[in-house]
Amino acid sequence: KAGVTQTPRYLIKTRGQQVTLSCSPISGHRSVSWYQQTPGQGLQFLFEYFSETQRNKGNFPGRFSGRQFSNSRSEMNVSTLELGDSALYLCASSLLASGPQETQYFGPGTRLLVL
Amino acid sequence: DQQVKQNSPSLSVQEGRISILNCDYTNSMFDYFLWYKKYPAEGPTFLISISSIKDKNEDGRFTVFLNKSAKHLSLHIVPSQPGDSAVYFCAASGETSGSRLTFGEGTQLTVNP
């Protein structure tokens, strides 16, 4: 069974631009969560989608948005990029997102560099 | 505010010895704790977890201990192997968090042959 895939793997943008990242969950998984990893900060929760609905949202500004499609693939968008948005963006999928006891499987991440 | 903290950015141990990774949390609503391991260029992978109703959970070479009164948990790896060299993240979740996990900053473990 294929794992979680994220595209692109690397991205370079300039301040003020916008970016869209994509995540394809494991086949059959209906939940996708997004995290931002920066040095010294660990992974910070962005949002979670289940069956095309946002179920949970972290403490990030409105420039960060996401959506989920009927095939469970998810995209996240960051508008008006700032230097501080440079990070590794990880997505994780799970079958039903029934709680933390259900294992979440992470993709390899998209490395975003904002110049 | 960092609700989950891993105060040691790095840890180096000899192969065959015990590795102990520590994690502290401040939110008393957390009731489920997990450890993830991350190799470079890969996403984190689930390692082991523990519910707040337990104080110990063991899986092969990996044991997680939970001290609720101290709001502290630790991961023991015995014996340590070079392949265990990775970044280890502690994560926590509460009853109202759903699947949302709160992660620590990570500890880079290096196991020397």
Which residues of A fall within a CB distance of 8 Å from B104? 42
Each residue's pLDDT tens digit, B39-55: 998 999 999 999 999 99
Which residues of A fall within a CB distance of 8 Å from B97? 56, 100
User: What is the per-residue pLDDT for B94?
Assistant: 87
Mutate to test the interface with B, among A9, A30, A31, A37 (most CBs of B within 10 A): A37
Each residue's pLDDT tens digit, B66-98: 999 999 999 999 999 999 999 999 999 987 777
Neighbours of B27 (CB within 10 A): 15
User: What is the per-residue pLDDT for A96?
Assistant: 79
User: What is the per-residue pLDDT for A1?
Assistant: 65
User: What is the per-residue pLDDT for B85?
Assistant: 98
- What torsion, rounded to 10 degrees, do the Cα atoms B10, B44, A74, A48 define? -70
Q: Over chain A (115 residues), what is each successive 10-residue block's mean pLDDT? A: 91 97 95 92 92 92 97 97 96 85 92 97
Query: Cα separations (Å) of B6 from A59, A69, B11, B22, B87?
Result: 21, 36, 11, 6, 11
Minimum-distance CB partner of A97 among B34, B89, B98: B98
Instruction: Classify B82 as helix, strand or coil.
Output: helix
Question: Which residue from B minimizes the CA distance to A38?
Answer: B105
Which residues of A fall within a CB distance of 8 Å from B43? 4, 90, 92, 105-109
Euclidean distance between CA atoms A2 and A97, whole angstroms:
19
